[in-house]
Amino acid sequence: MLTPFENLPDESRIWVYQANRKLTDDEVSFIEEQTRAFLEQWTAHGAELEAGFEMKYHRFIVIGLNQENASASGCSIDASVHFIQTLEKKLEIDLLDKMNVTFYHGEYIAYKPLLEFKKMAKNRSVSGNTIVFNNLVNTKAEYLEHWEVPAKDSWHSRFLA
């Protein structure tokens, strides 16, 4: 069951998928259309799942699931991953690679492999004050408060000189 993302409770489970490049307006529209269709029929053991999503910065797909009524099962999580893989193939993008870092570089959003981010930290091209996207957030509350944070306040801090 599709619900507006903003109506999901703060305890809702969150999945953040980052694209390896900025998406076009047409690609964002396609993803929104496909994600709406997927979430409208998403179930766990026959029970409807109350879920919503939002697209951020033409780069991130954020899916939220209200687990008060029904939780995602292994099969339903597999179905969501399969859906994301379908988007990857259709749009020739990468959404599942967790070994990349997305961060603000000035006013722009940069996407770098983790090894390159480490080199940038060593060269002081990024610092503890660099705003990074912490895609490991688990709940909507964490997403709203701790998704865009200084690198020193996230798991990225281990790479800073």
Model pLDDT for residues 28-75, shown as the tens digit of each residue: 999 999 999 999 999 877 778 899 999 999 999 999 999 887 777 788
* Nearest-10 crossing angle of helices 74-91, 25-41: 160
Q: Where are the alpha helices (DSSP H) in the chain?
A: 25-41, 74-91, 114-122, 140-146
For residue 112, the enclosing domain spans: 100-159
Q: Do 11 and 40 belong to one domain?
A: yes
Output 56 or 160, whichever has higher pLDDT.
56
Closest CA to 97 of 83, 84, 110, 78: 84
Q: Do 79 and 24 belong to one domain?
A: yes
Cα separation, 50 vs 43, in Å, equals 9
Q: Do 64 and 21 belong to one domain?
A: yes
DSSP 8-class letter at 139: B
Q: Do 84 and 146 belong to one domain?
A: no
Q: Do 76 and 136 belong to one domain?
A: no
Q: Where are the alpha helices (DSSP H) in 97-139?
A: 114-122
Side chain identity at residue 64, one-letter code: G
- Tell me how many domains the chain contains: 2
Q: Do 23 and 41 belong to one domain?
A: yes
Which pLDDT score, from 0 to 100, does residue 19 have?
97
- Among the three residues 91, 118, 143, which one is the final residue of a domain in this structure? 91
- Spell out the residues 6+ positions from residue 85 whose beta carbon is closer than 8 angstroms to its own: 96
Q: Do 16 and 75 belong to one domain?
A: yes
Instruction: Taking residues 70-97, report their average pLDDT.
Output: 91
Per the CB < 8 A criterion, the answer to whether 16 and 137 are in contact is yes
pLDDT band (50, 70, 90) for residue 161:
low
Which pLDDT score, from 0 to 100, does residue 5 have?
97
Taking CA atoms, 99 is separated from 36, 75, 107, 132, 139, in Å, by: 27, 25, 23, 14, 21
Which pLDDT score, from 0 to 100, does residue 36 have?
97
Instruction: Taking residues 95-124, report their average pLDDT.
Output: 92
Q: Do 109 and 68 belong to one domain?
A: no
- Among the three residues 48, 72, 91, which one is the final residue of a domain in this structure? 91
- Among the three residues 43, 71, 91, which one is the final residue of a domain in this structure? 91
Q: Do 125 and 148 belong to one domain?
A: yes
Q: Do 85 and 22 belong to one domain?
A: yes
pLDDT tens profile 110-148: 999 999 999 999 999 999 999 999 999 999 999 999 999
Q: Do 21 and 76 belong to one domain?
A: yes
Instruction: Taking residues 2-12, report their average pLDDT.
Output: 96
Q: What is the pTM of this model?
A: 0.93
Q: Do 52 and 69 belong to one domain?
A: yes
Q: Is 13 helix (H, G, I), strand (E, B) or coil?
A: strand
pLDDT cut 90: percent of the chain above it: 81
